[in-house]
Amino acid sequence: MGAAGLNPGTPGDPEEDREFQCMCAKTRYKVNAKDITNLEMIKPGPHCATAQMIATLKSGSRVCLSGKVSFFKALIGKLMKR
């Protein structure tokens, strides 16, 4: 498992790896919103039964955010409607 809680998968294109497995093996329950520079939402599908939210932080690290936290749940709901 990668340092940020992302499955390392096999070397290659992350988009390709995403088709076969969940990207998030471990999630975080807290993150300072000011530290987030990018937020990626991956909808549930054949590759993974749960929605995944991956935040890129100012430090450059990528972390998976828990869908169980009410703030993140609301954010996932808004992003899923897009």
The structure tokens 């992350």 sit at 14
pLDDT, tens only, 19-47 = 568 888 888 888 887 898 998 988 888 88
* Amino acid in position 49: A
- Predicted TM-score (pTM) of the model is 0.63
Domains defined along the chain, listed by start: 14-80 (2.40.50.40)
In the three-class reduction of DSSP (H, G, I as helix; E, B as strand; rest coil), residue 9 is classed as: coil
What length does the chain have?
82
DSSP 10-54: SSS-HHHHHTTS-SBSS-BS---GGGEEEEEEE--BTTBSS-EEE
Q: Indicate the range of 3-17, 41-55, 57-71 predicted with least confidence.
A: 3-17
